[in-house]
C-alpha cells in the first residue's frame, strides 16, 4: 500500500513538472523555429536546427531594446521610490506617537482596499493634468507608494528591539541617522523581499502602462509584446523571440533571489 | 518618541496614498453619479448611470462571467494543496520542485497569455493535436463560450498553483507533529490522515487562500486581453467591461458605476481576508 502510494506520488510530481515547465520550453522552441516549421500539424516539438533569425528579425522589426530599457527604467524607479517611501512611513508608524496616528494608519489600510483596476479613470485624469500621459513618469507615479509595502516596513521596524535605538540615541545619533544608519540596515531582509516583489510585479504590469502609453517609443515590454501580437498575428516566431527576451530578467531574478520570495509570501500572504 | 520631525517621515507615504488611491476611489463614486461622457454635461445624474448599467445586457453577462470565473478557486485550492502535501518534506528534490512549480508565478501575464494562446490555437495548437490522438477533435478553446473560459481556468491554475502551494507549505510547516504521529500509531493511513487530521487543521489557511484567490480571480483582465481579444463582450469579465466603457466608448460615468459595483464585491473579500488574518494570530 505504502509503495503504491509512493509511485502515485511520483507520477503526480512528474506530471505537474511537465505542465509547469512545458509552456516555457514550447516558447523557447518556437523562438528558434524556421518559418516552415511553426504551422506544421502535427506540431513539431523541437526545431530542426537552432535558428537565431527570429531574434535578429524581431529586434529589427520593432524597437525591442528601447522597450527593454523603458521597462528597466520604470521598474527601477518604482522600486526606488517605493522602498524610500515605505521605509520612511513605516518607521514613523512603528516608532512615534503622534496626533491622529490611528487616522493615518486607517488611511494606509483603506488604500489597500482599493484595486488599481477600478480607479484608472481618476488616475488618468491626474496624470493628464500633470502633463505626464505618454511618459514613463506617468507609468511610475501612481505606483510610487503601496499600502502593503508601508505595512511590511512598519512590521519590520516594530520587530527591532527598543534597546538598539535607545543605545544609539545615548551615543548621540540624530533622528535621520537613527533611521538611516542604525535601523534601516537591520530591516535588510524585508527590504530585499520588497524589492523582489516590486520587481516581479512591475516588470509584468500591463493594464496601467497600456492605458497611459500612446507612442511606440515609450512602450514597456508588456505593452510592446501585446501590440506585437496584434501586428504580427501569424508570426509566432518573432513574438516568441521577443517574449523570451522579456522573460529572461524575471527568471534570473527569481532564481538568484528565491529565498526572499518564500519569506515574502509568508509575510505578505494577506495581500 | 514624540517629535515634530515625524511628519517628515510620515507624510510622503500618506500624501501618495491619498492622491493615488483614496481620492480616486471617492472620485469613482462621484463620477458614477454624474453625466460624464466626452460631450456630457457633467451634471448630477442621480442613478442614471446605474440604470443604464443595469439595463445593459452585456453588463449582466460580464457580471455573471466574473462570478462563474470564481469557480476556478476551488480547483486552484485542490491543486495547490495537493502540491504542498506532495512536497511537504524538506528533501532536496522537494526544494527543487517547489522552485519549478513557482516559475509560472513570476511569469508576466502577457507572456503567459501569449504562450497559452498558441497552445490553445484551434487549427495549429498543441492542445487540439494531443486531443486528436485520443479522437477528440477541434475543441474551440478560444472562440466559443464556455470553452474559452475553461482555457482561462487552465491558465489561472497554471500560473497561480505555485503561489498558493507556498502558502499551504507555510501552513503545513507550523502544524504540531504530535497529532499526526498519534494518528499513525493508531493505524491511520495516509489518505485518512490527510482528510481527518491535516485538512481540518488547515481550515483557516484554506479559507485565506480561497479569499485571496477569489479577490484576484474576480479582477481578471490581462489574460482575456491577450488570449481572446476578438471574443464578444458576452464572453468577458467586469474589468474588461469597465476598461472598454472608459477607454473605447468614453462613457466614464457608466464605467465608474461598474467600478463601484466591483469595488463593493472586492471589499467583501478584503473584509473576509482581514478577519481571517486576525483569526490566525
The span from the CA of A86 to the CA of A150, in Å, is: 4
Per-residue model confidence (pLDDT) at position A92: 94
Q: What is the rounded radius of gyration, in angstroms, for the C-alpha atoms of chain B?
A: 23
A226 upstream amide cis, omega within 30 of 0: no
Instruction: Report d(CA A67, CA A82) in Å as an integer.
Output: 22
Is residue A189 one of the residues assigned to a domain?
yes
Q: Is A108 on the interface with B (CB under 8 A)?
A: yes
pLDDT digits (tens, 9 = 90+) for A177-215: 889 988 999 999 899 999 999 999 999 999 999 999 999
Q: Nearest 5°: CA angle at B3, between B2 and B5? A: 145
User: Please, what's the b/e burial string for B155-192 (b: 16 or more CB within 10 A of its CB; e: otherwise)?
Assistant: bbbbbbbbbbbbbbbbbbeeeeeeebeebeeeebeeee
pLDDT of residue A99: 86
Reply yes or no on whether the pLDDT at B60 is more than 70.
yes
Residues facing B34 on adjacent strands: B44
Q: Does A4 have pLDDT greater than 80? A: no
A26 close to B (CB below 8 A):
yes
Q: Which residues of A touch B7 (CB under 8 A)?
A: 98
* Residue range of the domain that includes A36: 28-268
Within 8 A of A123 by CB-CB distance, chain B residues are 20, 24
And the C-alpha cell for A143?
Answer: 505606483
Whether residue A97 lies within 8 A of chain B, CB to CB, comes out as: yes
Inter-chain CB proximity A269 and B167 less than 8 Å: yes
Q: What element of type H or E holds A52?
A: none
C-alpha cell of residue A144: 510610487
**A7 part of a folded domain:** no
The pLDDT-based confidence of A44 (bands split at 50, 70, 90) is confident
Is residue B110 within 8 Å of B226, Cβ to Cβ? yes
The pLDDT tens digits of the residues spanning B28-47 come to 999 999 999 988 888 898 89
ipTM of model: 0.92
Instruction: Write the CATH number for A177.
Output: 1.10.3720.10
Packed helices A236-256 and A221-231: angle between N→C axes, nearest 10 degrees: 160
Nearest by Cα to A189 from A249, A266, A246: A266
A74: cell is 520604470
pLDDT of A258 = 81
What's the CA dihedral at A80, A81, A83, A85 to 10 degrees? Answer: 160
Whether B166 and A110 lie within 8 Å, measured CB to CB = no
- Asked if A89's CB is within 8 angstroms of B14's CB, the reply is yes
B237: cell is 469579465
Other C-beta atoms closer than 10 Å to the C-beta of A195 total: 18
pLDDT bracket for residue B280 (50, 70, 90):
low
pLDDT of residue A241: 95
Dist CA A245 CA B113 (whole Å): 16
Q: State the Cα–Cα distance between residues A203 and A78, nearest whole angstrom.
A: 10
Q: Determine which of A1, A41, A114, A133 to mutate to test the interface with B (most B C-beta atoms within 10 Å).
A: A114
Distance to chain A for B166, nearest Cα, Å:
7
Instruction: Determine the pLDDT at residue B24.
Output: 97
Query: What is the total count of domains within chain A?
Result: 1
Q: Pick from A121, A179, A196 the residue to mutate for testing the B interface (most B CBs within 10 Å).
A: A121
Instruction: Determine, yes or no, domain membership for A20.
Output: no
Q: What is the pLDDT of residues A100-139, one digit of tens each?
A: 889 999 999 999 999 999 999 999 999 999 999 999 999 9
Predicted confidence (pLDDT) at residue A270 exceeds the cutoff of 60? no
How far is residue A126's CA from residue B16's CA, in Å, rounded to a whole number? 12
Residue A265 confidence (pLDDT) above 90: no
Taking a C-beta distance cutoff of 8 angstroms, is the pair B165, B87 a contact?
Answer: yes
pLDDT of A71 over the 80 cut: yes
pLDDT for residue A42 is more than 90: no
- The answer to whether residue A19 sits within a structural domain is no
Is A115 inside a domain boundary?
yes
Tell me, yes or no, if A147 comes closer than 8 A to chain B by beta carbon: yes
Check CB contact of A251 with chain B, cutoff 8 Å. Answer: yes
Query: Measured between beta carbons, which residues in chain B are less than 8 angstroms from residue A269?
Result: 167, 170, 208, 212
Distance of alpha carbon A147 from the chain centroid:
16
Query: What sign for the dihedral angle of Cα B220, B226, B228, B234?
Result: positive
- Asked if residue A17 is part of any domain, the answer here is no
Q: Read off the pLDDT of each residue in A60-88 and give the average, rounded to a whole number.
A: 96
Q: What percent of chain A has pLDDT over 90?
A: 65
Choose the closest CB to B17 out of A39, A111, A255. Answer: A111
d(CA A64, CA A57): 11
Residue A259 pLDDT class (50, 70, 90 cuts):
confident
Which residue ranges form the domains of chain B, and what is each CATH number?
Answer: 58-280 (1.10.3720.10)
Q: Which residues contact A241 (CB under 8 A, 6 or more apart)?
A: A31, A54, A55, A57, A58
Query: Which range among A227-236, B185-194, B263-272 shows the weakest confidence by mean pLDDT?
Result: A227-236
Q: What confidence score (pLDDT) does residue A184 get?
A: 92
Nearest CA in chain A to B1: A96
B17·A145 Cβ contact <8 A: yes
Candidates A107, A125, A254; nearest CB to B17: A107
Say how far apart CA B246 and CA A207 lie, in whole Å: 13
Inter-chain contact B14–A107, Cβ cutoff 8 Å? yes
What does the pLDDT average to over B267-273?
A: 89
Decide if B118 and A26 are in contact by the 8 Å CB cutoff.
yes
| Within-domain flag for A97 | yes
Between A23-27, A255-259, B94-98, B156-160, the lowest mean confidence (pLDDT) is in A255-259
Residues in B closer than 8 angstroms to A222, CB to CB, are 108-111
Q: Give domain status of residue A185, yes or no.
A: yes
B51: distance to nearest CA of chain A, Å?
19
Amino acid at each position: 500500500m505504502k509503495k503504491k502510494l509512493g509511485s502515485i506520488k511520483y507520477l503526480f510530481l512528474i506530471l505537474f513538472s511537465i505542465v509547469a515547465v512545458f509552456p516555457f520550453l514550447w516558447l523557447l522552441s518556437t523562438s528558434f523555429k524556421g518559418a516552415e516549421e511553426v504551422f506544421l500539424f502535427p506540431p513539431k516539438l523541437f526545431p530542426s536546427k537552432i535558428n537565431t533569425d527570429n531574434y535578429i528579425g524581431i529586434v529589427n522589426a520593432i524597437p525591442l531594446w528601447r522597450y527593454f530599457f523603458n521597462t528597466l527604467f520604470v521598474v527601477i524607479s518604482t522600486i526606488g521610490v517605493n522602498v524610500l517611501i515605505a521605509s520612511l512611513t513605516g518607521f514613523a508608524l512603528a516608532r512615534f506617537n503622534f496626533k491622529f496616528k490611528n487616522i493615518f494608519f486607517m488611511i494606509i489600510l483603506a488604500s489597500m482596499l482599493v484595486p488599481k483596476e477600478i480607479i484608472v479613470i481618476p488616475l488618468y485624469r491626474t496624470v493628464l493634468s500633470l502633463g505626464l500621459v505618454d511618459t514613463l513618469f506617468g507609468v511610475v507615479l501612481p505606483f510610487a507608494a503601496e499600502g502593503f509595502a508601508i505595512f511590511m516596513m512598519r512590521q519590520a521596524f516594530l520587530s527591532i528591539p527598543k534597546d538598539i535605538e535607545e543605545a544609539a540615541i545615548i551615543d548621540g545619533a540624530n533622528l535621520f541617522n537613527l533611521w538611516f544608519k542604525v535601523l534601516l540596515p537591520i530591516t535588510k531582509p524585508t527590504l530585499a523581499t520588497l524589492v523582489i516583489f516590486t520587481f516581479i510585479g512591475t516588470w509584468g504590469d500591463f493594464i496601467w502602462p497600456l492605458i497611459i502609453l500612446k507612442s511606440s517609443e515609450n512602450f514597456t515590454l508588456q505593452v510592446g509584446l501585446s501590440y506585437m501580437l496584434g501586428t504580427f498575428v501569424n508570426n509566432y516566431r518573432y513574438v516568441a523571440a521577443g517574449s523570451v527576451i522579456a522573460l529572461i530578467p524575471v527568471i534570473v531574478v527569481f532564481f538568484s533571489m528565491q529565498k526572499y520570495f518564500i519569506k515574502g509570501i509568508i509575510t505578505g500572504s494577506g495581500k | 518618541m514624540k517629535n515634530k520631525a515625524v511628519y517628515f517621515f510620515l507624510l510622503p507615504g500618506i500624501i501618495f496614498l491619498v492622491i493615488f488611491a483614496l481620492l480616486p476611489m471617492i472620485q469613482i463614486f462621484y463620477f458614477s453619479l454624474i453625466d460624464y461622457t466626452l460631450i456630457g454635461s457633467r451634471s448630477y445624474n442621480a442613478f442614471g448611470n446605474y440604470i443604464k448599467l443595469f439595463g445593459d445586457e452585456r453588463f449582466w453577462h460580464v457580471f455573471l462571467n466574473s462570478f462563474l470565473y470564481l469557480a476556478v478557486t476551488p480547483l486552484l485550492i485542490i491543486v495547490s494543496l495537493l502540491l504542498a502535501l506532495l512536497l511537504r518534506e524538506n528533501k532536496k528534490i522537494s526544494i527543487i520542485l517547489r522552485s519549478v512549480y513557482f516559475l509560472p508565478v513570476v511569469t508576466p501575464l502577457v507572456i503567459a497569455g501569449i504562450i497559452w494562446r498558441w497552445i490553445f490555437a484551434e487549427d495549429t495548437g498543441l492542445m487540439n493535436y494531443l486531443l486528436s490522438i485520443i479522437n477528440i477533435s477541434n475543441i474551440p478553446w478560444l472562440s466559443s463560450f464556455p470553452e474559452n473560459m475553461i482555457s482561462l481556468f487552465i491558465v489561472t491554475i497554471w500560473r497561480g498553483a505555485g503561489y498558493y502551494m507556498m502558502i499551504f507549505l507555510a501552513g503545513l510547516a507550523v502544524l504540531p507533529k504530535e497529532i499526526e504521529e498519534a494518528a499513525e500509531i493508531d493505524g491511520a493511513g495516509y489518505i485518512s490522515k490527510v482528510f481527518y487530521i491535516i485538512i481540518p487543521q488547515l481550515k483557516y489557511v484554506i479559507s485565506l487562500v480561497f479569499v485571496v484567490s477569489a479577490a484576484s480571480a474576480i479582477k481578471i483582465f490581462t489574460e482575456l486581453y491577450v488570449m481572446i481579444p476578438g471574443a464578444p463582450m458576452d464572453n468577458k469579465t467586469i474589468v474588461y467591461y469597465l476598461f472598454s466603457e472608459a477607454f473605447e466608448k468614453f462613457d466614464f460615468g457608466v464605467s465608474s458605476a461598474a467600478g463601484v459595483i466591483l469595488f463593493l464585491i472586492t471589499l467583501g473579500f478584503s473584509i473576509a481576508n482581514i478577519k481571517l488574518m486576525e483569526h490566525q494570530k
